[in-house]
Amino acid sequence: MKKQLIFGSFIALSYVSYSQASWNSTTEEYEIVTTKPEKGLRITQNATSNPKGAAALHLKNNTPITTGGHLWSLFSLGEGNTTWGAGNFVIGGSGDNGVNYNSIFSIQKNTGNVGIGTTSPAVRLDVTGSLRATTNIEVGPGPFNSAVPLSINQTLGQNAGDKKTCFQIANGLGMNIEYLKIFDKRNTAGNNWYNNELRIQKTVDATDMHYISFKGSATNPSLNFGYGNSDLMSILDNGQVYIGATKAQSPHADYKLSVAGKIVAQSLYITASGLPNWADYVFAPEYKLQNLYDVEKYYKANKHLPEIPSAKEVEEKGIDVGAMNTLLLKKIEELTIHMVEQQKQIDKQEHEINLLKTK
């Protein structure tokens, strides 16, 4: 008798809507079957009492509220509702027989935005609280890799200067807001990977600061470290490293480290493999020492010593520190041999002079 009273209205409604309601004694469930397309169960409420003009479906288990029971309700909110938003759909729960409801899930009428834990979702899915996924989270138009737990795929424009932020973390610091952004930017027009740059950058308010970037290039893609919008250090795909705004050009294109500026160090070692033949061969008995008169003739004509680069060569090419040290050592050793020979000659002459004086 009680079940008949509860579902009497459903059965009456089914006749009007060309549907049938029946009791399944096996599953102990009422089943409503409609024969009209897109027809089913409709609940309409015209009341203006609280919740104002809301059509609702309430579900409650047999456990008393006082011992842990709960009342779950589905609301289609009327235009008079100002608490949860007129025209929105809300799923709420109450632990006191419907006196006080907590909104758990909501869908906004005008935007279709979905809220979990909030009745005013500002985006397509707005969650108040933690979010957990046991498989993958995928953002963007794809394609995605199912083996990656978090995939973000954005479509970047093809014009130079186009930019698309993929990920951002913000942290309020008193009067300032600090951001860590991951974004893609198009350095030159086109739709190839070497036209763009993927950058991870720190920003405070509207000021861009330090960044790490992966810059595409058809010849030398690079890993870059910079500040603002200027690269300070770059590592090319061939292992070359340059520090400063520009890299070394010809004739030293085979460099491993290029520095646009001064280098300050407490010590610098150049290994033997990086040095030309060390100048100790000057002291070998078979070494032919150049005549000083020939040296004089050479530097008067060329304005520099033999084997030493000219000022023009140094200006154009610079100097190889290891090679230059070897050459300077060679000149010092040759000069030392000349000085020793001259001293021997002076000593001999003095001895001969002294012998003449004693006669």
Are the C-beta atoms of 202 and 209 separated by less than 8 Å? yes
Range of the domain at 6: 1-42
71 phi, psi to nearest 5 deg: -110, 120
Residue 240 and residue 226 in one domain: yes
Amino acid 74: pLDDT: 84
Residue 293 and residue 313 in one domain: yes
In a domain, 66, yes or no: yes
In a domain, 76, yes or no: yes
119 phi, psi to nearest 5 deg: -100, 5
Residue 254 and residue 276 in one domain: no
Tokens for 37, please give them.
């397309």
Residue 244 and residue 193 in one domain: yes
Position of tokens 């907590």? 102
Give pTM, 2 decimals: 0.65
In a domain, 144, yes or no: no
Residue 110 and residue 70 in one domain: yes
pLDDT of 24 above 80: no
In a domain, 184, yes or no: yes
Looking at per-residue confidence, does 217 or 84 come out higher?
Answer: 217
Residue 174 and residue 254 in one domain: yes
Best CA proximity match to 217, nearest among 184, 195, 238, 235? 195
In a domain, 149, yes or no: no
In a domain, 206, yes or no: yes
| Strand, helix or coil for residue 309 | coil
Residue 183 and residue 233 in one domain: yes
Residue 252 and residue 283 in one domain: no
- If you write DSSP's letter for every residue of 79-133 in order, what string do you get? TT--SS-TT-EEEEEESSTTSS-EEEEEE-TTT--EEES-SS-SSSEEESS----
Residue 238 and residue 278 in one domain: no
* Tens of pLDDT, residues 52-89: 567 778 887 777 777 777 788 888 877 667 777 778 88
Residue 188 and residue 123 in one domain: no
- Of these ranges, 27-41, 46-60, 154-168, the one predicted with the greatest mean pLDDT is 154-168
Calculate what percentage of the chain has a pLDDT beyond 70.
87
In a domain, 139, yes or no: no
Position of tokens 């993958």? 136
pLDDT of 5 above 50: no
pLDDT of 2 above 50: no
pLDDT tier at 333, thresholds 50, 70, 90: very high
Of 17-31, 235-249, 306-320, least confident by mean pLDDT is: 17-31
In a domain, 11, yes or no: yes
| Structural domain total, the chain | 4
Residue 236 and residue 169 in one domain: yes
